[in-house]
C-alpha cells in the first residue's frame, strides 16, 4: 500500500471530483483513478459511489476516511518533529486547539509560556472538538486547549489526561445594533452551529438560560466556524452565540451588541500524560505556575 494513496483518497473525499482531486494532487486524471482503484483493491472494498454526481463515499468509504485522516495526521506530525530535530531546532511542543482559541487565547499564552521557560518551538493544529480529542489521544499531540462547561461531558480519563484551568471566557449572544423591531415579536433569526458541534452544544445550553432571546433558525454553518458566524452577525443576518474574546473588539467598536445573559466557560489545557518527554514536563510545570498566577489575579 502506497502512502500517497491515502492522500489521494482524502483529496477525492474533500472535492467529490476526480478531475479536481487529480489537479490538486498534480497527476493526470487517469493516473489518479488508477491509484484510487489500487487502494480499493488493496482494501478489498468499494470506497466510492461512482454512479452519483458529484462522487460520494460508500459506507465503507466514510469509515475508511476517518482511518485515513488519522494515519496521515500522525505521519505528518511525526515527520514535522523529525525535521525539526534535523534542523537542530531541538524538541517541539505540540498542541491541538479549538479554532477560536488559536485566534484569541493561544498567542498570548504562548508568549507567557516562553517568558517562563525560554525559547521553545511549538506546533499547533486548529481543529473541531472531536478531531482535537482524537489528535490528543491517538495523533501524537502533547496538549489540548479547549473551552469547558460542567454540563458538557468530556470523554477523557482524568488520570491519563489531567487538566489545568488557565483562563476564563464566556459565550455571548450578539447581533448587529439597530436590528429590526419585528425581531422582538417574531423572534430573532438564529445563526446556528452544525448538529453535534461543541460550540453548538454550548450555544444550546446558553440559549436555554433565562433571559435568552426568542429565536428561529435562519442559517446553519455546517463547518461550525465561529469566525464565519461572526461575519454573518456583523452583516446583520441574525443572532449568534460566540466566545466573548472573539468579539470583544467588535462590541467595543459598536459592530455587535450583546442581547442575552452570557454563559461562563473555563479555558482548559489538557495533557496527554502517556507522552512522557522532558519538554512536556517543563511546559506542564510552567503552565501550572501560570495557572496559579491567573487564579490569584481573579
As a residue count, the chain comes to 298
The pTM is what? 0.71
Q: What is the pLDDT at residue 285?
A: 93
Separation between Cα atoms, residue 190 and residue 172, nearest integer Å:
13
- The Cβ of residue 42 has, within 10 Å, a number of other Cβ atoms equal to 11
Distances (CA, A) of 229 to 31, 140, 235, 297: 40, 31, 10, 32
For the record, the C-alpha cell of 288 comes out as: 501550572
Nearest C-alpha neighbor of 171 from the set 213, 202, 192, 129:
202
Beta-sheet pairing, 92-98 with 121-127: parallel
pLDDT tens for each residue of 58-87: 999 999 998 898 888 778 777 766 666 655
pLDDT tens for each residue of 96-154: 999 999 999 999 999 999 999 988 888 899 988 988 998 888 767 899 999 999 999 88
Beta-sheet pairing, 263-271 with 163-175: antiparallel
Distances (CA, A) of 131 to 13, 41, 126, 138: 17, 28, 9, 10
Q: What is the pLDDT at residue 91?
A: 67
Residue pair 254/177 in contact by the 8 Å Cβ criterion:
yes
Separation between Cα atoms, residue 263 and residue 151, nearest integer Å:
11
Residues in the chain where the model's pLDDT stays below 50: none
Nearest C-alpha neighbor of 152 from the set 239, 292, 274, 263:
263
Residue pair 241/215 in contact by the 8 Å Cβ criterion:
no
Q: What does the buried/exposed string (b/e) look like for 185-214 if buried means 16 or more CB atoms within 10 Å of the residue's CB?
A: eeebbbbbbeeebbbbbbbebbbeeeebee
Q: What is the pLDDT at residue 280?
A: 87
Separation between Cα atoms, residue 13 and residue 7, nearest integer Å:
10
Q: What is the pLDDT at residue 86?
A: 55
Separation between Cα atoms, residue 279 and residue 142, nearest integer Å:
10
Amino acid at each position: 500500500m502506497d502512502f500517497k494513496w491515502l492522500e489521494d483518497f482524502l483529496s477525492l473525499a474533500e472535492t467529490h471530483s476526480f478531475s479536481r482531486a487529480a489537479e490538486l494532487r498534480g497527476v493526470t486524471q487517469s493516473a489518479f483513478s488508477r491509484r484510487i482503484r489500487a487502494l480499493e483493491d488493496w482494501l478489498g472494498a468499494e470506497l466510492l459511489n461512482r454512479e452519483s454526481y458529484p462522487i460520494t463515499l460508500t459506507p465503507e468509504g466514510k469509515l475508511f476516511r476517518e482511518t485515513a485522516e488519522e494515519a496521515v495526521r500522525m505521519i505528518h506530525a511525526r515527520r514535522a518533529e523529525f525535521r525539526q530535530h534535523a534542523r537542530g531546532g531541538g524538541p517541539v511542543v505540540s498542541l491541538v486547539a479549538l479554532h477560536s482559541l488559536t485566534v484569541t487565547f493561544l498567542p498570548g499564552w504562548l508568549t507567557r509560556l516562553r517568558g517562563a521557560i525560554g525559547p521553545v518551538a511549538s506546533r499547533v493544529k486548529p481543529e473541531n472538538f472531536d478531531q482535537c480529542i482524537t489528535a490528543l489521544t491517538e495523533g501524537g499531540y502533547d496538549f489540548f486547549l479547549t473551552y469547558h462547561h460542567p454540563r458538557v461531558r468530556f470523554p477523557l480519563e482524568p488520570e491519563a489526561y489531567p487538566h489545568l484551568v488557565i483562563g476564563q471566557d464566556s459565550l455571548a449572544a450578539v447581533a448587529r445594533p439597530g436590528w429590526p423591531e419585528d425581531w422582538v415579536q417574531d423572534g430573532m433569526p438564529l445563526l446556528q452551529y452544525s448538529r453535534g458541534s461543541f460550540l453548538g452544544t454550548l450555544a444550546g445550553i446558553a440559549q436555554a438560560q433565562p433571559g435568552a432571546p426568542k429565536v428561529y433558525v435562519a442559517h446553519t454553518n455546517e463547518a461550525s466556524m465561529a469566525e464565519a458566524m461572526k461575519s454573518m452577525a456583523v452583516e446583520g443576518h441574525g443572532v449568534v452565540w460566540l466566545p466573548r474574546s472573539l468579539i470583544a473588539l467588535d462590541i467595543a467598536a459598536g459592530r455587535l451588541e450583546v442581547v442575552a445573559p452570557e454563559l461562563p466557560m473555563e479555558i482548559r489545557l489538557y495533557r496527554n500524560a502517556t507522552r512522557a518527554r522532558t519538554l512536556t514536563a517543563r511546559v506542564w510545570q510552567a503552565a501550572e505556575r501560570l495557572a496559579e498566577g491567573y487564579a490569584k489575579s481573579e
